Amino acid sequence: MLSALGVLPWLSMHAGFGVGSAIDAGVYIQIGLTCLVLMLAFYLPANARMMALENNHRKFAMNMYDIAGAYQMAHAADRSGAFSLRSEFDAVKERMAFLRNHPDLQSLEPEILELAAQMSQVSQELAETYGDAKVSRARTFLQQRQEEIEQFQRRIEDAQTIQHELRQWTHDVEIEESIAKSQLKRLRDELFELLPELSAQLQSSPDSQDSGASSVIAMSPPRAAE
C-alpha cells in the first residue's frame, strides 16, 4: 500500500525468458507476495482456533477414556466384594487407594482417580445387586433350567417317535383287519352260493327215506298174518 501511494519505492527485479528482452517483474512479485501474506493472515488464525478446539476435544476424550477405564476396574472390584467400608467418605477413600495402587492406573492424574472413585461409590448399590456371587448363582440357575428344557425337549421327541410308531402300527392293524373282513365276506358269499344246493339235497333226501318206510310198512301185515 505504501508503494502504491508513492511513499516507498516498488521492488525492482529484471527478469527475462530465453533471448527476449528483460522486463521489470518486481511490481508483480511484490503484489503477489502481498496477496499471499494477506491470505495467510486470514487463514492462520482460523486454523489455529480449529487446532485448539481439536486438541481440547482430544484431551477431553482421553480424560473420559481414562475415567471410564478406572471406573470399570473399581466397579469390577466392588462387584467381587473387595470394598467393605460403608460410609461415603471412607468408601471413596478406599476406592482411591485401590485405584492408586493398581499397576495399570499409576500414570493417571489424582483428579481422574478421584472422579472414578466417586462414580464407583455412587454405583455401589448396583454392584451389590449384580455382584459376582449373585450373577454366578443366576447363571447356574439358568444353566440348570436350560438343561431341564433340553431334557424335556428330548422326552417330547421320544414321545413323538413313539406316537408315530403307534400310529403306524394302528394303520397296519386296520389294514390287516380290513383284509381279514374282506376274506370273511368272500367266504360268506361263497357259502351263501352253496346253501341252495345243500338245501335242495336236504329236501330230496327226506322224500326218499319216507317212500322206503312206506314200502316196509306195507309189507309187514302179510308176514304177521302168516
Say yes or no to pLDDT of 49 above 90: no
Inside any domain, residue 169: yes
Note whether 126 and 142 are same-domain residues: no
Say yes or no to pLDDT of 20 above 70: no
Note whether 172 and 160 are same-domain residues: yes
Q: What are phi and psi of 105, to 5 degrees?
A: -120, 15
Inside any domain, residue 53: no
Q: Which residue has the cell 460410609?
A: 87
Inside any domain, residue 220: no
Q: Would you say 117 and 92 are in contact if contact means Cβ atoms under 8 Å apart?
A: yes
Domain endpoint, select from 109, 130, 151: 130
CB atoms near residue 180 (< 10 Å): 10
Say yes or no to pLDDT of 65 above 70: yes
- Alpha carbon distance 133, 141 (integer Å): 12
CA distances (Å), origin 200, targets 3, 86, 190, 206, 207: 157, 116, 17, 11, 11
Say yes or no to pLDDT of 163 above 90: yes
Say yes or no to pLDDT of 146 above 70: yes
Q: What are phi and psi of 202, to 5 degrees?
A: -65, -35
Inside any domain, residue 162: yes
Inside any domain, residue 25: no
Note whether 94 and 111 are same-domain residues: yes
pLDDT category of residue 220 using cuts at 50, 70 and 90: very low
Inside any domain, residue 17: no
Inside any domain, residue 80: yes
Half-sphere exposure at residue 142, Cβ-oriented, CA atoms within 13 angstroms: 6
Note whether 137 and 123 are same-domain residues: no
Note whether 109 and 143 are same-domain residues: no
177 lies in which domain range?
Answer: 132-187
| Range from 28-32, 95-99, 199-203 carrying the lowest mean pLDDT | 199-203
- Please give the mean pLDDT across all residues of the chain: 77
Note whether 160 and 143 are same-domain residues: yes
Say yes or no to pLDDT of 223 above 50: no
Note whether 68 and 112 are same-domain residues: yes
Please give the tally of structural domains in the chain: 2
Note whether 112 and 145 are same-domain residues: no
Say yes or no to pLDDT of 222 above 70: no
Inside any domain, residue 163: yes
Note whether 113 and 155 are same-domain residues: no
